[in-house]
Structure 1
Amino acid sequence: MKQINKFQVKSIKKGTIIDHIPIKMGIKLLSLFELNNSSQNIIIGLNLPSVLIGYKDLIKINNTFINQDQVNQLAVYTPDATVNYIEEYKVISKITPSLPDFVKNIIICPNDNCISRSELKFSKFRIISKNKLSKYLKCIYCEREFARHLMSIK
Protein backbone atom coordinates (compact mmCIF):
# COMPACT_ATOMS: atom_id res chain seq x y z
CA MET A 1 0.00 0.00 0.00
CA LYS A 2 1.36 3.39 -0.97
CA GLN A 3 1.56 5.91 1.87
CA ILE A 4 0.29 9.40 1.05
CA ASN A 5 1.97 12.26 2.91
CA LYS A 6 -0.21 15.28 3.45
CA PHE A 7 0.86 18.48 5.09
CA GLN A 8 -1.33 19.37 8.04
CA VAL A 9 -0.14 22.99 8.05
CA LYS A 10 0.12 25.25 4.97
CA SER A 11 3.58 25.92 3.51
CA ILE A 12 5.09 29.40 3.57
CA LYS A 13 7.06 31.02 0.76
CA LYS A 14 9.41 33.08 2.95
CA GLY A 15 9.89 33.35 6.71
CA THR A 16 10.63 31.35 9.83
CA ILE A 17 9.36 27.99 11.01
CA ILE A 18 9.82 27.05 14.66
CA ASP A 19 9.42 23.28 14.76
CA HIS A 20 9.48 20.53 17.40
CA ILE A 21 7.96 22.76 20.08
CA PRO A 22 6.70 20.71 23.03
CA ILE A 23 2.90 20.65 23.15
CA LYS A 24 1.26 23.52 25.04
CA MET A 25 4.31 25.75 24.44
CA GLY A 26 3.29 27.11 21.03
CA ILE A 27 0.81 29.60 22.44
CA LYS A 28 3.32 30.73 25.09
CA LEU A 29 5.93 31.37 22.41
CA LEU A 30 3.48 33.62 20.56
CA SER A 31 3.50 35.85 23.66
CA LEU A 32 7.24 35.57 24.16
CA PHE A 33 8.00 36.95 20.71
CA GLU A 34 4.96 39.25 20.74
CA LEU A 35 3.76 37.57 17.57
CA ASN A 36 0.17 38.22 18.59
CA ASN A 37 0.92 41.90 17.76
CA SER A 38 2.47 41.12 14.38
CA SER A 39 0.96 42.30 11.12
CA GLN A 40 2.38 39.20 9.37
CA ASN A 41 0.45 36.03 8.67
CA ILE A 42 1.22 33.49 11.40
CA ILE A 43 0.29 29.84 11.19
CA ILE A 44 0.26 27.79 14.36
CA GLY A 45 -0.20 24.06 14.61
CA LEU A 46 -1.03 22.53 17.96
CA ASN A 47 -0.76 18.87 18.97
CA LEU A 48 0.54 17.77 15.57
CA PRO A 49 1.93 14.24 15.20
CA SER A 50 5.72 14.04 15.34
CA VAL A 51 8.02 11.11 14.63
CA LEU A 52 10.64 12.55 17.01
CA ILE A 53 8.60 13.60 20.05
CA GLY A 54 5.15 12.02 19.62
CA TYR A 55 3.22 15.29 19.42
CA LYS A 56 4.43 18.82 18.86
CA ASP A 57 3.43 22.42 18.29
CA LEU A 58 4.65 24.38 15.26
CA ILE A 59 4.79 28.09 14.39
CA LYS A 60 5.24 29.49 10.87
CA ILE A 61 5.83 33.23 10.51
CA ASN A 62 5.49 34.69 7.02
CA ASN A 63 7.98 37.31 5.84
CA THR A 64 9.80 37.42 9.18
CA PHE A 65 13.15 35.99 10.20
CA ILE A 66 13.75 35.82 13.94
CA ASN A 67 17.22 36.94 14.99
CA GLN A 68 19.93 34.88 16.72
CA ASP A 69 19.11 36.32 20.17
CA GLN A 70 15.50 35.22 19.76
CA VAL A 71 16.61 31.78 18.59
CA ASN A 72 18.80 31.40 21.68
CA GLN A 73 16.00 32.58 23.98
CA LEU A 74 13.93 29.71 22.58
CA ALA A 75 16.39 27.32 24.23
CA VAL A 76 15.11 28.33 27.66
CA TYR A 77 11.65 26.97 26.84
CA THR A 78 12.17 24.61 23.94
CA PRO A 79 15.73 23.27 24.05
CA ASP A 80 15.01 20.67 21.36
CA ALA A 81 13.21 22.97 18.92
CA THR A 82 14.55 23.72 15.48
CA VAL A 83 14.34 27.00 13.61
CA ASN A 84 14.09 26.83 9.84
CA TYR A 85 14.51 29.83 7.57
CA ILE A 86 12.49 29.53 4.37
CA GLU A 87 12.99 31.17 0.94
CA GLU A 88 10.88 30.21 -2.08
CA TYR A 89 9.25 27.38 -0.09
CA LYS A 90 12.63 25.75 0.64
CA VAL A 91 14.67 25.49 3.83
CA ILE A 92 17.76 27.66 3.37
CA SER A 93 19.05 27.30 6.93
CA LYS A 94 18.25 25.11 9.93
CA ILE A 95 19.34 26.12 13.43
CA THR A 96 19.11 24.40 16.80
CA PRO A 97 18.90 26.93 19.66
CA SER A 98 21.63 27.03 22.29
CA LEU A 99 21.36 28.60 25.69
CA PRO A 100 22.72 32.17 25.84
CA ASP A 101 24.77 33.48 28.78
CA PHE A 102 21.91 35.75 29.91
CA VAL A 103 18.17 35.95 29.29
CA LYS A 104 16.23 39.10 30.01
CA ASN A 105 12.66 40.29 29.90
CA ILE A 106 11.21 36.94 28.89
CA ILE A 107 10.67 35.18 32.20
CA ILE A 108 9.44 36.15 35.63
CA CYS A 109 11.48 35.38 38.73
CA PRO A 110 9.62 32.76 40.82
CA ASN A 111 10.81 34.44 44.03
CA ASP A 112 7.86 36.52 45.27
CA ASN A 113 10.25 38.74 47.24
CA CYS A 114 12.50 39.56 44.28
CA ILE A 115 12.73 43.27 43.48
CA SER A 116 12.35 42.49 39.77
CA ARG A 117 8.72 41.44 40.40
CA SER A 118 7.55 44.57 42.17
CA GLU A 119 9.76 47.54 41.35
CA LEU A 120 11.80 46.94 38.23
CA LYS A 121 9.14 45.29 36.03
CA PHE A 122 11.82 43.36 34.15
CA SER A 123 14.08 40.45 34.91
CA LYS A 124 17.50 39.19 33.98
CA PHE A 125 18.90 35.73 34.55
CA ARG A 126 22.38 34.31 34.18
CA ILE A 127 22.60 30.84 32.71
CA ILE A 128 24.76 29.03 35.25
CA SER A 129 24.53 25.54 33.78
CA LYS A 130 23.66 24.38 30.31
CA ASN A 131 22.76 20.93 31.63
CA LYS A 132 19.02 20.58 31.04
CA LEU A 133 18.53 18.51 34.19
CA SER A 134 20.06 20.93 36.71
CA LYS A 135 19.00 24.24 38.13
CA TYR A 136 20.46 26.49 35.55
CA LEU A 137 19.01 30.01 35.86
CA LYS A 138 20.16 32.51 38.46
CA CYS A 139 18.29 35.78 38.97
CA ILE A 140 20.81 38.62 38.97
CA TYR A 141 18.69 40.61 41.46
CA CYS A 142 17.81 38.12 44.22
CA GLU A 143 20.63 35.67 43.31
CA ARG A 144 18.39 32.63 43.70
CA GLU A 145 18.78 29.68 41.35
CA PHE A 146 15.87 28.06 39.55
CA ALA A 147 15.14 25.28 37.11
CA ARG A 148 13.51 26.21 33.82
CA HIS A 149 10.25 24.40 34.61
CA LEU A 150 9.60 26.78 37.55
CA MET A 151 9.66 29.84 35.30
CA SER A 152 6.72 31.54 33.66
CA ILE A 153 6.73 33.72 30.58
CA LYS A 154 6.14 37.45 30.99
Structure 2
Amino acid sequence: MRETMAVEAIENGTVIDHIPAGQGLNILSRIQVRNSQARVTVGLNLRSGGNGTKDIIKVEGWLFSEFDAAEMALYAPNATVNIIEDYQVRKKFPIGLPAEFTGIFDCPNSNCISHTEPVATRFYVREQVRPIQLTCHFCERSFTDSLFTRNG
Protein backbone atom coordinates (compact mmCIF):
# COMPACT_ATOMS: atom_id res chain seq x y z
CA MET A 1 0.00 0.00 0.00
CA ARG A 2 1.34 3.42 -0.97
CA GLU A 3 1.49 6.03 1.78
CA THR A 4 0.60 9.61 0.93
CA MET A 5 0.79 12.75 3.00
CA ALA A 6 -2.59 14.18 3.98
CA VAL A 7 -1.02 17.60 4.64
CA GLU A 8 1.69 19.13 2.43
CA ALA A 9 5.30 19.38 3.68
CA ILE A 10 6.73 22.76 4.72
CA GLU A 11 10.25 24.06 4.13
CA ASN A 12 10.75 25.90 7.44
CA GLY A 13 8.45 26.12 10.44
CA THR A 14 6.74 24.06 13.09
CA VAL A 15 4.55 20.98 12.92
CA ILE A 16 2.36 20.13 15.90
CA ASP A 17 1.50 16.45 15.56
CA HIS A 18 -0.58 13.98 17.55
CA ILE A 19 -3.13 16.59 18.61
CA PRO A 20 -6.25 14.86 19.95
CA ALA A 21 -8.99 14.98 17.29
CA GLY A 22 -11.16 18.02 17.91
CA GLN A 23 -8.48 20.12 19.64
CA GLY A 24 -6.78 21.45 16.50
CA LEU A 25 -9.16 24.41 16.29
CA ASN A 26 -8.31 25.43 19.87
CA ILE A 27 -4.60 25.42 19.02
CA LEU A 28 -5.25 27.26 15.76
CA SER A 29 -7.09 29.94 17.75
CA ARG A 30 -4.07 30.40 20.08
CA ILE A 31 -1.69 30.58 17.10
CA GLN A 32 -3.87 33.28 15.50
CA VAL A 33 -3.87 35.30 18.75
CA ARG A 34 -0.07 35.18 18.87
CA ASN A 35 0.50 35.81 15.16
CA SER A 36 -2.50 36.67 13.00
CA GLN A 37 -0.26 36.66 9.90
CA ALA A 38 1.01 33.10 10.41
CA ARG A 39 0.65 30.81 7.39
CA VAL A 40 -1.04 27.72 8.80
CA THR A 41 -2.13 24.40 7.35
CA VAL A 42 -4.56 22.38 9.45
CA GLY A 43 -5.53 18.73 9.14
CA LEU A 44 -8.52 17.59 11.18
CA ASN A 45 -9.58 14.03 11.99
CA LEU A 46 -6.69 12.46 10.09
CA ARG A 47 -5.93 8.76 10.42
CA SER A 48 -3.46 7.93 13.17
CA GLY A 49 -1.93 4.51 13.71
CA GLY A 50 -2.07 4.60 17.49
CA ASN A 51 -4.99 6.87 18.29
CA GLY A 52 -7.52 6.28 15.53
CA THR A 53 -7.75 9.95 14.51
CA LYS A 54 -5.73 13.07 15.21
CA ASP A 55 -5.37 16.70 14.20
CA ILE A 56 -2.15 18.19 12.87
CA ILE A 57 -1.06 21.82 12.40
CA LYS A 58 1.80 23.14 10.29
CA VAL A 59 2.98 26.71 10.79
CA GLU A 60 5.27 28.08 8.09
CA GLY A 61 8.14 30.38 9.05
CA TRP A 62 7.69 30.18 12.84
CA LEU A 63 10.06 27.92 14.76
CA PHE A 64 8.31 27.31 18.08
CA SER A 65 10.30 27.49 21.27
CA GLU A 66 9.36 25.21 24.15
CA PHE A 67 7.69 28.28 25.70
CA ASP A 68 5.55 28.76 22.56
CA ALA A 69 4.58 25.09 22.65
CA ALA A 70 3.68 25.17 26.36
CA GLU A 71 0.88 27.60 25.55
CA MET A 72 -0.80 24.84 23.54
CA ALA A 73 -0.44 22.22 26.30
CA LEU A 74 -3.90 22.59 27.76
CA TYR A 75 -5.37 21.42 24.45
CA ALA A 76 -2.85 18.72 23.59
CA PRO A 77 -0.54 17.84 26.50
CA ASN A 78 0.74 14.72 24.73
CA ALA A 79 1.30 16.29 21.31
CA THR A 80 4.70 16.50 19.66
CA VAL A 81 6.35 19.61 18.23
CA ASN A 82 8.62 19.14 15.22
CA ILE A 83 10.88 22.00 14.15
CA ILE A 84 11.37 21.85 10.39
CA GLU A 85 14.32 23.38 8.54
CA ASP A 86 14.95 22.76 4.84
CA TYR A 87 12.11 20.18 4.79
CA GLN A 88 13.83 18.11 7.51
CA VAL A 89 12.93 17.58 11.19
CA ARG A 90 15.77 19.33 13.05
CA LYS A 91 14.33 19.18 16.57
CA LYS A 92 11.49 17.27 18.16
CA PHE A 93 10.04 17.64 21.65
CA PRO A 94 6.84 16.82 23.53
CA ILE A 95 4.62 19.73 24.51
CA GLY A 96 4.00 18.72 28.14
CA LEU A 97 2.02 20.73 30.68
CA PRO A 98 3.84 23.65 32.31
CA ALA A 99 3.49 24.35 36.04
CA GLU A 100 1.52 27.51 35.25
CA PHE A 101 -0.10 29.48 32.44
CA THR A 102 0.40 33.26 32.41
CA GLY A 103 -1.57 35.74 30.33
CA ILE A 104 -3.16 33.13 28.11
CA PHE A 105 -6.71 32.58 29.39
CA ASP A 106 -9.25 34.83 31.07
CA CYS A 107 -10.41 33.75 34.53
CA PRO A 108 -13.92 32.23 34.35
CA ASN A 109 -14.74 33.87 37.71
CA SER A 110 -16.37 37.17 36.70
CA ASN A 111 -15.57 38.58 40.18
CA CYS A 112 -11.84 37.92 39.84
CA ILE A 113 -9.66 41.02 40.15
CA SER A 114 -7.94 40.07 36.87
CA HIS A 115 -11.03 41.41 35.05
CA THR A 116 -10.76 44.92 36.53
CA GLU A 117 -7.04 45.41 37.17
CA PRO A 118 -4.29 45.64 34.52
CA VAL A 119 -2.67 42.31 35.42
CA ALA A 120 -1.84 39.25 33.36
CA THR A 121 -3.94 36.26 34.37
CA ARG A 122 -2.08 33.41 36.02
CA PHE A 123 -3.19 29.83 36.57
CA TYR A 124 -1.37 27.06 38.39
CA VAL A 125 -1.75 23.50 37.14
CA ARG A 126 -3.06 21.45 40.08
CA GLU A 127 -3.92 18.17 38.34
CA GLN A 128 -2.10 17.01 35.22
CA VAL A 129 -4.55 14.29 34.21
CA ARG A 130 -7.93 14.80 32.54
CA PRO A 131 -9.76 16.74 33.65
CA ILE A 132 -6.85 19.10 34.20
CA GLN A 133 -7.39 21.34 37.23
CA LEU A 134 -6.23 24.97 37.12
CA THR A 135 -6.21 27.41 40.05
CA CYS A 136 -6.33 31.18 39.51
CA HIS A 137 -3.50 33.02 41.23
CA PHE A 138 -5.72 35.99 42.07
CA CYS A 139 -9.10 34.62 43.18
CA GLU A 140 -7.72 31.18 44.14
CA ARG A 141 -10.69 29.43 42.53
CA SER A 142 -10.13 26.13 40.75
CA PHE A 143 -11.48 25.25 37.33
CA THR A 144 -11.30 22.29 34.98
CA ASP A 145 -9.81 22.59 31.53
CA SER A 146 -13.27 22.18 29.97
CA LEU A 147 -13.95 25.87 30.77
CA PHE A 148 -10.98 26.89 28.60
CA THR A 149 -11.33 24.46 25.68
CA ARG A 150 -13.89 23.50 23.08
CA ASN A 151 -14.78 19.81 23.14
CA GLY A 152 -13.09 19.68 26.57
For 1:141 and 1:63, the matched residues in 2 are separated by: 36
Partner of residue 122, structure 2: 124
Give the structure-2-normalised TM-score. Answer: 0.85
Residues 32-43 of structure 1: pairs in structure 2 closer than 5 A: 32-34=30-32, 37-38=36-37, 40-43=38-41
Checking the alignment, whether the CA contact within 8 Å between 1:11 and 1:89 is kept in structure 2 is yes
For 1:135 and 1:18, the matched residues in 2 are separated by: 21
Q: Which has the higher helix share?
A: 1
Over 3 Å counting, the alpha-carbon distance change for 1:27 and 1:134 in structure 2 is closer
Percent identity at matched positions? Answer: 36
Q: Give the number of aligned pairs.
A: 149
1:70-106 CA deviation, whole Å, 9 max, x = no partner? Answer: 1122222211111001112111111101222220222
Unpaired segments of 5 or more residues in structure 1? Answer: none
Which residue identity lines up with residue 144 of structure 1 in the other structure?
R
Alignment RMSD, CA only?
Answer: 2.2
Partner of residue 136, structure 2: 139
Partner of residue 148, structure 2: 151
For 2:132 and 2:43, the matched residues in 1 are separated by: 30
Unpaired segments of 5 or more residues in structure 2? Answer: none
Partner of residue 107, structure 1: 105
Which residue identity lines up with residue 15 of structure 1 in the other structure?
G
Checking the alignment, whether the CA contact within 8 Å between 1:18 and 1:60 is kept in structure 2 is yes
* Structure 1 consecutive aligned stretches of length 4 or more whose deviation exceeds 4 Å: 118-122
Q: What SS is found at the alignment partner of 1:27?
A: helix
Which residue identity lines up with residue 21 of structure 1 in the other structure?
I
Which residue identity lines up with residue 106 of structure 1 in the other structure?
I
Residues 49-128 of structure 1: pairs in structure 2 closer than 5 A: 49-120=47-118, 122-128=120-126
Over 3 Å counting, the alpha-carbon distance change for 1:144 and 1:85 in structure 2 is same
For 1:127 and 1:32, the matched residues in 2 are separated by: 19
For 1:101 and 1:91, the matched residues in 2 are separated by: 27
Over 3 Å counting, the alpha-carbon distance change for 1:27 and 1:105 in structure 2 is same
User: C-alpha displacement at 1:120, in angstroms?
Assistant: 4.3
Give the structure-1-normalised TM-score. Answer: 0.84
